[in-house]
């Protein structure tokens, strides 16, 4: 039996997050329905609570497109910690 490395596995140690609204993970996914028109999904998850905090579904998503949403979350988190 051959043990294969899991696709997308990180080679960096996992950081323990001690509070919500500190570390988020963002993932880009691509799919297409039977009609062949591709769409993209950008989703962001709070690493502490594992709660989905952002989902963008569009035909085209550039790397900078989630930034305004992320900035709003970041400012909101800072305001809550004060």
Residue 75 confidence (pLDDT) = 59
| Single pTM value for the model | 0.61
Which has more confidence, 19 or 72? 19
Residue 7 confidence (pLDDT) = 66
Q: Report residue 45's pLDDT band, with 50, 70 and 90 as the boundaries.
A: very high
Q: To 10 degrees, the CA torsion angle through 5, 16, 28, 81?
A: 180
């Amino acid at each position: 039996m051959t043990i294969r490395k899991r696709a997308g596995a990180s080679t960096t140690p996992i950081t323990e997050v001690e509070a919500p609204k500190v570390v988020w993970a963002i993932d880009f996914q691509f799919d297409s329905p039977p009609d062949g028109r591709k769409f993209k999904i950008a989703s962001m998850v709070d690493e502490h609570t594992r709660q989905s905090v952002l989902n963008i579904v569009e035909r085209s998503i550039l790397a900078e497109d989630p930034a305004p949403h992320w900035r709003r979350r970041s400012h909101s988190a800072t305001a809550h910690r004060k």
